[in-house]
């Protein structure tokens, strides 16, 4: 018996070691997901700053060719980017000011349209119910008895103790206690303050990432040796090229759609075309839900402006055609050739990052997943995962 049990005793440490080895990746994945969800505002801020730094790096290199130091070139590029954002915000503010002045009139028109639509839906529901369940002919009702006098009604009223029927439980309604307005405002203001606080760090992060780019690049590569250092350098280069190609391609496509949408809205006499056009053009780039999002701004402005039904149909047709042309012809040539992700990987990535980071996750899902694929393509042990994500 001792001879038979020795092999099993020798395999017990091996089994425990295999279990620990297989459980470690699962535990690490769970901790990573929990950390990404808990500190999502921080990670979103860092990710946006990194993406902007990758986009602005070629402009910094262009200024360095004319003998400008990297710190000065980074400051000039960041200042120019902030000035561009200021001009865009000023134009949007001008359009929003005019819209705010006419907001009461627009809100009344939107309310009328909503009420008319609700009335038509109620009528359609009543007609459908009448067709499915036809009502019987009403039977003649007997004449009601004469109302009793006050004295007879007082005599006929039962005492209060007789009002409760034995065996009948009175109805009890439970009302949920609503939070006071101050608590709701505090929650919203607290989350908005956190977002604005993190957003204020983005310009500084971008500047330091650009000005200290060479130092951070050399320091990061010092963590690796031999072939791993070469793979890390190639991964950084692949991530940079992919991010620049993806973001710049989306930006150019969004500008093109914004210009075409603004001209189209101006031709159909839509109010505020310079506001509805850019918003609709860039919203159309949101994956999977771009078409309904692109339809919202022009439809709201058209309803508020009291445009006729023909303009609604023209807007729907033109926005749908622009969206289909952009996604099927322009997007694969401008953006898709730099990402190389299959549709299944894109869909799962949108679900995962949307769950973790909400709306920001939907916008950052594709560049983040493409960056992971770039790392997998350059690391020998992770290349099967890169092929699995690729097209």
CA angle 291-297-302, nearest 5°?
115
The CA–CA distances, whole Å, from 136 to 130, 143, 219, 342 equal: 11, 21, 86, 60
| Pick from 312, 332, 320, 313: nearest CA to 291 | 320
Q: How far apart are CA 111 and CA 105, in angstroms?
A: 10
DSSP string, 94-153: HHHHHHHHTHHHHHHHHHHHHHHHHHHHHHHHHHHHHHHSPPPPPPPPPPPPPPPPHHHH
CB distance 243 to 51 below 8 Å: yes
Q: Which two tokens stand for residue 335?
A: 């953006």
CB distance 78 to 206 below 8 Å: yes
CB neighbour list of residue 255: distance below 8 Å, 6 or more residues apart: 281
Q: How does pLDDT run along the chain (391 residues), one tens digit per residue?
A: 444 445 545 555 555 556 565 667 778 888 888 888 888 888 989 988 988 888 888 888 889 888 889 889 999 999 998 998 888 888 777 777 766 666 666 666 667 666 776 777 777 777 776 777 666 555 555 555 555 555 554 555 555 544 445 554 555 555 445 555 455 555 556 567 777 888 888 889 999 999 988 888 888 888 888 888 888 888 888 888 887 778 878 888 888 888 888 888 888 878 778 888 888 888 888 777 778 888 888 887 777 666 666 667 777 888 888 877 877 777 777 676 667 788 888 888 888 888 888 888 888 888 888 888 888 888 888 888 888 888 7
CB distance 353 to 361 below 8 Å: yes
Per-residue model confidence (pLDDT) at position 4: 47
Q: Which two tokens stand for residue 256?
A: 């093109």
Q: How far apart are CA 383 and CA 101, in angstroms?
A: 58
Per-residue model confidence (pLDDT) at position 207: 92
CB distance 75 to 207 below 8 Å: yes
Per-residue model confidence (pLDDT) at position 310: 66
| Pick from 341, 8, 56: nearest CA to 207 | 56
The CA–CA distances, whole Å, from 203 to 46, 53, 66, 373 equal: 11, 10, 24, 28
Per-residue model confidence (pLDDT) at position 1: 44
Per-residue model confidence (pLDDT) at position 87: 86
Per-residue model confidence (pLDDT) at position 134: 65
Per-residue model confidence (pLDDT) at position 180: 53
DSSP string, 167-193: T-PPP---PPPPPPHHHHHHHHHHHHH
Q: How far apart are CA 348 and CA 351, in angstroms?
A: 5
Per-residue model confidence (pLDDT) at position 105: 64
């Amino acid at each position: 018996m001792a001879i038979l049990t020795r092999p099993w005793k020798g395999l017990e440490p091996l089994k425990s070691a295999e279990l620990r080895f297989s459980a470690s990746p699962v535990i690490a994945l769970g901790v990573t997901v929990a950390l990404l969800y808990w500190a999502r505002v921080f990670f979103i801020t860092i990710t946006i700053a990194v993406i902007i730094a990758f986009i602005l790096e070629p402009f910094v290199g262009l200024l360095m060719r004319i003998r400008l130091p990297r710190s000065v070139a980074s400051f000039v590029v960041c200042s120019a980017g902030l000035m561009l954002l200021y001009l865009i915000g000023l134009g949007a503010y001008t359009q929003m000011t005019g819209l705010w002045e006419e907001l009461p009139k627009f809100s009344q028109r939107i309310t009328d349209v909503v009420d008319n639509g609700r009335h038509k839906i109620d009528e359609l529901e009543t007609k459908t119910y009448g067709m499915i369940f036809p009502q019987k002919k009403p039977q003649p009702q007997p004449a009601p008895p004469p109302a009793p006098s006050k004295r007879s009604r007082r005599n006929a009223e039962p005492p209060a103790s007789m009002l409760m029927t034995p065996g009948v439980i009175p109805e009890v309604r439970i009302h949920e206690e609503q939070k006071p307005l101050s608590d709701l405002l505090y929650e919203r203001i607290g989350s908005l303050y956190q977002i604005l606080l993190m957003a204020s760090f983005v310009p500084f992060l971008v500047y330091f990432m650009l000005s200290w780019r060479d130092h951070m690049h050399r320091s990061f590569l010092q963590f690796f040796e031999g072939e791993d250092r070469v793979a890390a350098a190639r991964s950084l280069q692949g991530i940079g090229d992919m991010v620049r190609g993806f973001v710049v391609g989306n930006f150019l496509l969004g500008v093109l759609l914004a210009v075409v949408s603004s001209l189209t809205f101006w031709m159909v006499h839509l109010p505020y075309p310079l506001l509805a056009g850019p918003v609709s053009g860039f919203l159309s780039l949101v994956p999977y839900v771009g078409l309904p999002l692109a339809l919202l701004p022009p439809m709201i402005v058209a309803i508020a402006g009291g445009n006729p039904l023909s303009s609604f149909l023209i807007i729907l047709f033109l926005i749908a055609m622009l969206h289909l042309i952009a996604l099927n012809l322009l997007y694969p040539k401008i953006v898709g050739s730099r990402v190389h992700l299959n549709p299944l990987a894109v869909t799962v990535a949108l679900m995962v990052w949307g769950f973790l980071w909400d709306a920001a996750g939907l916008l950052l899902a594709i560049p983040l997943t493409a960056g992971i694929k770039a790392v997998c393509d350059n690391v020998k042990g992770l290349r099967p995962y890169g092929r699995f994500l690729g097209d």
